[in-house]
Amino acid sequence: MDQELLKEAREVLKHAYVKYSNFRVGAAIRLKDGSIISGANIENASYGLTNCAERSALFAAYSQGYKKEDIVEMVLTTEQDHLVSPCGACRQVMRELMPADINVSMVYNNEVKTVKNRELLPLAFTEDDL
């Protein structure tokens, strides 16, 4: 796992807007050119409009012109003392917007669980199904 990505994911936790849940999540993506793009979760009183850290980071990367093939790794972290994995909506977006074979590392209590992106959503619905 890329330690610089973990540092960025922990740093972006400070920017999470978690007025309702107080549940901070930070995500950082490493790109082929060495750049790092991070994102935090941003809540809304209309809960369905909340955006998770994983999607915030991915949407920021795409907004800056990066594409699926540019992404090489993602690291996620929270302030929780147990493993927290991406929600179902994030797993679907991650499956489409990131390569299937990149590592996704989830960090908690200085423990790391790393899986391939494709393992987060078995039998995913993808563009190949259309």
Q: In the structure, what pLDDT confidence band is assigned to residue 120 with cuts at 50, 70 and 90? A: very high
The conformational region for residue 122 under phi > 0 = left, psi -120 to 50 = alpha, else beta, is beta
- Mean predicted confidence (pLDDT) in 24-34: 97
Helix ranges (H only) for the chain are: 3-12, 53-63, 88-97, 117-120
Of 3.40.1260.10, 3.40.109.10, 3.40.140.10, 3.30.230.70, which CATH number belongs to 3-129?
A: 3.40.140.10
Output the DSSP codes for 21-41. Answer: T---EEEEEEETTS-EEEEE-
Separation in Å, CA 86 to CA 33, 34, 65, 94: 25, 24, 24, 9
C-alpha 2/C-alpha 74 separation (Å) is: 9
Q: What is the pLDDT of residues 32-85, one digit of tens each?
A: 999 999 999 999 999 888 999 999 999 999 999 999 999 999 999 999 999 999
Q: In the structure, what pLDDT confidence band is assigned to residue 113 with cuts at 50, 70 and 90? A: very high
54 is catalytic: yes
pLDDT at position 86 is: 96
**What is the reported pTM?**
0.92
pLDDT at position 48 is: 86
* Catalytic hit among 54, 96, 111, 119: 54
Q: Does 8 score more than 90 pLDDT?
A: yes
